[in-house]
Amino acid sequence: MELETLRRRLSGTIATPGEDGYARLAAAYNMAVTATPALIVEARDAQDVVEAVRFAGEHGLPVAVQATGHGLAGALDGALLVHTGRLDECVVHPGERWARVGAGVRWQQVLDAAAPHGLAALAGSAPGVGVVGYTTGGGLGPVGRTYGWASDRVRAVELVTGDGVLRRTTATDEPDLFWAVRGGKGAVGIVTALEFDLIVQPELYAGALFYAGDDAAAVLHGWREWSAKLPAEATTSIAFLQLPPLPGVPEPLAGTFSVTVRFAWTGDEAEGERVIAPMRDLKPVIDAVQTMPYAALGMIHNDPADPMPVHEGGELLHGLPAGAADALLAVAGPGSGSEQVIVEVRQLGGALAGEPAHPSALCHRDAAYTLITIGIAAPAVAAHAARVRDAMSPWTTGGILPNLAAGVGAERIARSYDPATLERLVEVAGRYDPANVLRAGQVPVRRS
């Protein structure tokens, strides 16, 4: 390969195995994944992405992309990895209530930039993840039932398609691309910049309640009945936790089985207190629900920020009747021998079930709940996650969200999209990537 020619065409850098910077750029957030691409281009601008994709096309290399490492899920053997972490533009337009960010920006940067203007962005439960990967996979956040999916707030996308062309797409300019990139993850191009609407939400009444493991059955059934009656101003989830005794883990929770109810209320604080009262009546050992700046919404879930080796599983549920709750308790509750650190059920519905102003590739909007399992990567953890999936199969839809659980492969692709959506994604991707360059990593379509 003519790497020196490529180097001269870039303002960024190239790293190959053994060179300085390679290990840093190839590192995955999930330490159970080891990526070994043939070379990595660390882009400094959109033109670097263009040059990298064109070079890959000229030399028959598959292309993958990452910015923060959260999306890496495979080895990428023989691939060219485009690293977009240095595309760090982050500009808030307070008068028009929208923001423009580069592909390397993480959500916390946007939250902090919007907060002085009383504005907020539809970030996820872990604001340390990248804006682009999260949004192109749909974007399910802690206030989703009020404001919907992050991908539905996108105004414009700049991306490099597989033919090596930098394009700008909106609902009226190249609308097929606009449809595909919102929910289609990396199927149709490498995003270099996103523009999206902001919301007016300077504060939240939000946080988490933690309960002793012995109360798991009462809390799960109570949450199930309580959440079914919630208005769209409330977004909530429940999780079984088995947190290790590490610094930062509160004493009542460390090394024990516990249950947590996450809650975010976008309305008046007094009304939020009334709404959460039935769950407080179940006597949590820790009550961390309070008024907080919206920019601190990461405190609701307190997802771990440091890389670790994990196995993740995900499902969508069409309901959570009493029988489903009992099945989950039997396979993942206290005394079950659960191998998972976290087993979480998130309630959907509300604005998440609504139709977007502009159609997109995001499917499964009619699901009622998500089910997520997370454990330290080991064969026993994966086997137990399969048992959880089997136990809950009477209530699963068969689908998953593109961001719900990292992974690659045809089965995951087929479950992420309904047949008509997948067929259209394949067609649009083929039109803009006739040489099938974008075929590595978490790309939801692969053409033969």
Which residues have CB under 8 Å from 288's CB, separation 6+?
207, 208, 209, 210, 299
Q: How far apart are CA 348 and CA 385, in angstroms?
A: 22
For residue 348, give its domain range. Answer: 203-395
pLDDT at residue 442 tops 80:
no
Last residue of some domain: 200, 228, 248? Answer: 200
For residue 400, pLDDT beyond 70: yes
Q: What is the pLDDT of residue 407?
A: 61
Residue 306's pLDDT is 82
**Shared domain check, 263 and 293:** yes
- Shared domain check, 371 and 246: yes
Mean pLDDT value across the chain: 94
Strand partners, 264: 206, 235
Q: Name every residue whose Cβ is closer than 8 Å to that of residue 225 and which is 6 or more positions away in sequence.
A: none
Q: What is the mean pLDDT of residues 339-365?
A: 97
Q: Which residues lie below 8 Å from residue 242, measured CB to CB, with a gap of 6+?
A: 256, 257, 258, 338, 340, 341, 342
Longest dimension (CA), the chain: 68
Estimate to the nearest angstrom the gap between the alpha carbon of 9 and the chain centroid: 33
Q: Is residue 5 part of a domain?
A: no
Indicate whether 251 belongs to any domain. Answer: yes
Same domain flag for 177 and 319: no
Residues 259 and 330 in one domain: yes
pLDDT of residue 210: 97
Tens-place pLDDT, residues 354-398: 999 999 999 999 999 999 999 999 999 999 999 999 999 999 999
Q: Is 446 a residue whose pLDDT tops 60?
A: no
The pLDDT, as a whole number, for residue 159 is 98
Q: Are residues 111 and 160 in the same domain?
A: yes
Predicted confidence at residue 445, as pLDDT, reads: 61
Task: List, for residues 165-187, the tens digit of each pLDDT value.
Answer: 999 999 999 999 999 999 999 89
For range 22-35, the mean pLDDT: 89
Same domain (yes/no): 220, 364: yes
Structural tokens at position 327 = 């099945």
Q: What percent of the chain has pLDDT over 90?
A: 85
* Residue 443, pLDDT score: 61
Asked which of 105-119, 183-197, 248-262, 366-380 is least confident by mean pLDDT, the reply is 248-262
Residue 100 · residue 194 · CB < 8 Å: yes
The pLDDT of 274-292, averaged and rounded, is 98
> Can you give the CATH number for the domain in which 188 is found?
3.30.465.10
* Per-residue model confidence (pLDDT) at position 247: 78
Q: Is 270 exposed, middle or buried (CB count within 10 Å of its CB: 0-12, 13-18, 19+)?
A: exposed
Same domain, 139 and 238: no
Q: Evaluate whether residue 220 is within a structural domain.
A: yes
Give the CA distances from residue 317 to residues 108, 109, 232, 335, 372, in Å, rounded to whole numbers and listed in that order: 30, 33, 19, 24, 11
Overall number of domains in the chain: 2
Please tell me whether residues 173 and 239 are part of one structural domain: no
Instruction: Using alpha carbons only, give the angle 246, 251, 255 rounded to the nearest 5 degrees.
Output: 55
Residue 325 is predicted with a pLDDT of 98
- Residue 383's CB is within 10 A of a number of other CB atoms, namely 11
pLDDT of 447 > 70? The answer is no
Q: Both 155 and 221 in a single domain? A: no
Model confidence at 444, pLDDT cuts 50, 70, 90, reads low
Bridge-based pairing state of the strands 257-265 and 203-212: antiparallel
Which tokens go with 409? 């492969």
